[in-house]
Structure formats: structure tokens, C-alpha cells
Structure 1
């Protein structure tokens, strides 16, 4: 179990002033492990148009007055949403912030009547995969993806 943060984690709904933090948090982890892909650029440069205006949601985590994490819920089809762009800055990892973001995204998906959440990841990201399993996600067949780095798909049935 992760250590509790010394100060509480606030999960916030995305506001336009969060765009730079959303981009920077994701850019930080993606470029640490992989190459930024075209789909990443589209989402990170225009989260309003690519995620929010298309029926999705973005959440930000604030800890000790700083935006330290983020996660998106992207509308796919027929009650299916994708958990995407989850990032926690390295200095705040291990504080349970990813867990809080994941729980908030799942709770919101249930609230809006989603029937399933899926995610794409990479097997190299063992801590992230462990978090997803702890949140209830299970491995599912991988469909073709625009992401070259995706080598695992996980799903969480909500009903």
C-alpha cells in the first residue's frame, strides 16, 4: 500500500488554466520511457478539442498546492471510455496520487453510466500495470492501436 500524502490530494476537474500542467505531466513520463507520438501531440496540444469537446473528461491532482498528476477519461463508443494520459510527476510518486486519480475516474465513469473502461499501456510500466490491476482492470485482447508503444490492453466492466 502506498504511503498517505502528508497533505491531502485534491482531485479537480480540468480547467483551461490546467492545460500546460496536463501537457507537461504527460510529456514528462512519455519521453522518459518512449517517444512522443502524433496522437499524444494532438491530445496534449488540444485537450479541449480532442478530449473534452468529444464527450470526455480530464482530472487533475493537486498536492501541497501543486498540480502533480492527471488522468483523462476519453469517450470511445456505446458506453465505453478509455482511461488515458495518467501521469504523476516523479517527486509525487508513491503518495497514492495515481490511486486517487484512478478511483476518481472510475467513480465518474459510473456516475455518467459508462459500462466499461479500457486502457492501453506497455508491459515495461510494471508499477502502472500493478495500479490498474489494483483498481480492478483485467487484461483483454489487444486491438490494433494508433499507439506504437501499446502492447497491453486492460478493461474494467462497470455493469
Structure 2
């Protein structure tokens, strides 16, 4: 599939059919994510993949509110994304390189996650990126180290339906040339 087609066709999906996602496909998603650029090649992104039905159900029941629990019914996996704080955007002595500090870790993880989402679409998988989750319960359930900041949870699975393309702003509305 051409990259332009992947970018144009990818959709956020909130209804899944319950079909299992292969471990090899999940590994391919993380491999694509890891190819994204990062601040001074720091590669601080980390991925915690919830793959077994029992763990998916436990996470959905314990770590999501009603809305995201409903949006993730029938998913084949949940991927919790984190980054190691105070590395991307920081000097070796621990001082921030600019005013963004840990913002660079989020930026790098966003680049990685976009690669993951596009690879998922390329493999015929659908995704939903969520930021609303119970951070302490997530950290405890998955034994995530305290030096990692939890950013998002990405649902991965096979769509039950194909959502319509949402309206997008025109390029002329979001760009200034100088």
C-alpha cells in the first residue's frame, strides 16, 4: 500500500470484532515505532502490550472508565505507551536543554506512535489512542517503573465498522509562509 493511501485511509475505531491479533503483528508495530527519530537518538519510548484476553478484560475493568471500557470491547490488544523522563530534551547533567524539558519525550513518543498507527493500518488493523486511564492502577498492574511517564493507551484490533472520514481543516487555515 502507498504511504499516502495509508495516511488518508487510517481511522480511529471504537468498535472491534473480537478477533485475536497475532503477537508477530504487535511486534511489527513496535518495530515500526522504534524506527521513528528521537532527541539525540535517545529512544526513550517504551511499550507494555496487554495481549491475553484475561489481562485485556482486567485492564478494561480496572483502569478505564465506562467510556473507554466501552470503546475497547473486542480489541485484540492494548498497548500502554511510556517514555523515560528526563532524558530526551535534557543535558547529561540533568538540566533541560530548552523550556520544553520532558515535552521532548512526549514529542518523540508521538512520532513513534504515529509510525505504530500507520503500520497497524498497513497490516489491516485498527487503532484508538486514549489518554484517559487510571495512571496509578496502570503503573501497578503492569509494573511500570517510576522514571517512566505513562502517556497513552492504544487499542489494537479488527474493526467492526469503518468510520467516515472526519472533516479536516484546509492547509490554508493552518499554515503561514514567510
Asked whether the two chains share a fold, i.e. TM above 0.5, the reply is no
Give the TM-score normalised by the residue count of structure 2: 0.32
Give the TM-score normalised by the residue count of structure 1: 0.35
